[in-house]
Amino acid sequence: MSDTVSGLLTIAVLVAALAIVHVPLGNWMAKVFTDEKHWRGERLVYRLVRVDPTSEQRWTAYAVAVVAFSVVGIVLLFLILVFQGVLPLARGAAMNVDTAVNTAVSFVTNTNWQSYAGEAGTSPFVQTVGLTVQNFVSPAVGLAVAVALVRGLVRSSAAALGNFWVDLVRGLFRVIVPIALVGAVVLLLGGIIQNLTEPTTVTTLAGGHQVIQGGLVASQEAIKELGTNGGGYFNANSAHPFENPNAFTNLIEVFLLLVIPFSLPRTYGVMVGDRRQGWTVQGFMATLWVLMLTVVTWSEVHAASGPLGGMEGKELRFGVWPSALFATSTTATSTGAVNSMHESFSALGGGGALFNMMLGELSPGGVGTGLYSALLVAILTVFLAGLMVGRTPELLGKQIGRREITLTALAVLVMPTLVLAFTGIGMVAPLVSSQMLATGPHGLTEVMYAYTSVANNNGSAFAGLSADTPYTNLTLALCMFVGRFAPIVLVLALAGSLVAQRRRPVTAGTLPTHTPTFIGLFVGVAVIVGGLTFFPALALGPLAEALS
In the chain, which stretches have pLDDT less than 50? none
Check residue 343 and report its DSSP letter.
Answer: G
Three-state DSSP at 286 gives: helix
Strands (E), 23-120: none
Alpha-carbon dihedral sign for residues 487, 493, 498, 499: positive
Supply the pTM of this predicted model: 0.94
Of 264, 439, 239, give the one whose Cα is nearest residue 342.
239
**pLDDT of the residue at 307:** 61
**pLDDT of the residue at 332:** 93
Cβ distance 266 to 30 under 8 Å? yes
Pairing of strands 200-203, 394-395: unpaired
**Residue 269 to residue 254: CA distance in whole angstroms:** 24
**Residue 98 to residue 81: CA distance in whole angstroms:** 11
Element (H, E) at 155: none
Beta bridge partners of 211: 201
**Residue 452 to residue 446: CA distance in whole angstroms:** 10
Name the phi and psi angles at 365, rounded to 5: 80, -175
Query: Do you find a cis peptide bond into 53, omega within 30 degrees of 0?
Result: no
Pairing of strands 398-399, 394-395: antiparallel
% the chain with pLDDT above 70: 97
Which residues neighbour 165 within 8 Å (Cβ) at sequence distance 6 or greater?
46, 49, 51, 53, 65
**Residue 99 to residue 104: CA distance in whole angstroms:** 9
| 19 CA to centre of own chain | 20
**pLDDT of the residue at 104:** 96
Name the phi and psi angles at 202, rounded to 5: -125, 160
**Residue 397 to residue 279: CA distance in whole angstroms:** 18
Amino acid at 15: V
Of 301, 285, 428, give the one whose Cα is nearest residue 7.
301
**Residue 413 to residue 180: CA distance in whole angstroms:** 33
